[in-house]
Amino acid sequence: MLTITNLTANAGGKPILKGISLTVNAGEVHAIMGPNGSGKSTLAQVIAGHPGYEVTGGSVTYEGQDLLELEAEVRAQQGIFLAFQYPVEIPGVSNAYFLRAAYNEVRKAHGEDEVDPLEFLDIMAKKLKVVEMDEAMLQRSVNAGFSGGEKKRNEILQMAVLEPKLAVLDETDSGLDIDALRIVAEGVNKLKRPDNATIVVTHYQRLLNYIVPDFVHVLAQGRIVRSGGKELALELEERGYDWLLEPAGASA
């Protein structure tokens, strides 16, 4: 589904990603872990097409096409979804309107008819249950005045509505209490299908108790320094990141 080969990227002229290679197949869950500043979030943003990062080398292939050639909205329409670490507030625009606009863009891209507000409400009713959210929140402005937990749940609601092929969850666990974490993780699990894939970017192992990864990759100083199975996450929980950093530093 997604093949990243030797990807390098800069932010503000400074190299952040220094050669990332990663393959994600349908049905898989990958966890990307690493200390602060390792480039985890940058990787998520580059996959989504954030204009603030400049790709300086390497390639990203998604479903057989050159992903880096595509505008951010086209990537979204083709099934890439980024759950933001800091979901953005859009005052005055209702959640319902925003979601329907996004939903219709995806449908249009697939040559399907747009849905009207009433049909959309039916679709929403089901999706709201996935994240245990109240219908009233559809009338509130996008993320405006939401608590941290509500924002993250809103991200998962959007994911449920847009049904992406590849979901990238960027530190979705940060700032969540244990109940909210459970709701968010269960939401993600319910949406898992054999034909989609998930990349979970996280600093802590905690989230991985709920969303069990098939692969764990450790990112440090812009490189993947170790890959393994889910047991790697547990090892990191116990030993921290330092033991992995030294060899990377020494080889530099």
Partner 1 sequence: MSSQIESLVNKEYQYGFVTDIESDAIPRGLTEETVRLISARKNEPQWLLDWRLKAFKRWLSMTEPRWPNVKYGEIDYQAQTYYSAPKSVKPLQSLDEVDPELLKTYEKLGISLNEQKRLSGVAVDAIFDSVSVGTTMKEELKKHGVIFCSFGEAVIEHPELVQRYLGSVVPYSDNFFAALNSAVFSDGSFVYIPKGVRCPLELSTYFRINAADTGQFERTLIVADEGAYVSYLEGCTAPKRSTNQLHAAVVEIVALDDAQVKYSTVQNWYAGDKDGVGGIYNFVTKRGKAFTNSKISWTQVETGSAITWKYPSVILQGDNSTGEFYSVAVVNNKQQADTGTKMIHIGKNTKSTIISKGISAGHGQNSYRGQVKVLPKATGARNYTQCDSMLIGNQCGAHTFPYIEIANNSATLEHEASTSKIGEDQIFYCKQRGLNAEHAISLIVAGFCKEVFKELPMEFALEAQQLLGISLEGSVG
The reply to whether 11 sits near partner 1 by the rule CB under 8 A is: no
Which of 72, 123, 137, 245 is close enough to bind partner 1 by CB under 8 A?
72
Which of 11, 55, 68, 102 is close enough to bind partner 1 by CB under 8 A?
102
- Taking the least distance from each CB to partner 1, the nearer of 94 and 209 is 94
| Residues 6+ positions from 10 with CB-CB distance below 8 Å | 16, 53, 54, 56
CB of 100 to partner 1, least distance (A): 11
Tell me the helix, strand and coil percentages in the chain, rounded to 5. 40, 30, 30
Sheet holding 65-66, edge to edge: 14-24, 2-11, 53-62, 65-66
Region of 79-87, 185-193, 201-209, 210-218 interacting with partner 1 (CB under 8 A):
79-87
Please list the residues that pair with 204 across neighbouring strands.
none
Asked if residue 141 lies in contact with residue 90, where contact means CB atoms within 8 angstroms, the answer is yes
Q: How far is CA 163 from the centre of its chain?
A: 13
- Taking the least distance from each CB to partner 1, the nearer of 9 and 106 is 106
Region of 29-37, 50-58, 127-135, 196-204 interacting with partner 1 (CB under 8 A):
50-58
Pairing of strands 14-24, 2-11: antiparallel
The reply to whether 116 sits near partner 1 by the rule CB under 8 A is: no
Q: Which residue, chain included where needed, has tokens 């996280």?
A: 202
- Taking the least distance from each CB to partner 1, the nearer of 136 and 250 is 136
| Residues 6+ positions from 243 with CB-CB distance below 8 Å | none
Which of 34, 39, 87, 213 is close enough to bind partner 1 by CB under 8 A?
87
Region of 9-17, 83-91, 180-188, 203-211 interacting with partner 1 (CB under 8 A):
83-91
- Dihedral pair phi/psi, residue 160, rounded to 5°: -65, -40
The reply to whether 73 sits near partner 1 by the rule CB under 8 A is: yes
Which residues sit at the interface with partner 1, rule CB under 8 A? 48-52, 71-73, 75-77, 81-82, 84, 87-93, 97-98, 101-102, 105-106, 109, 141-142, 158, 162
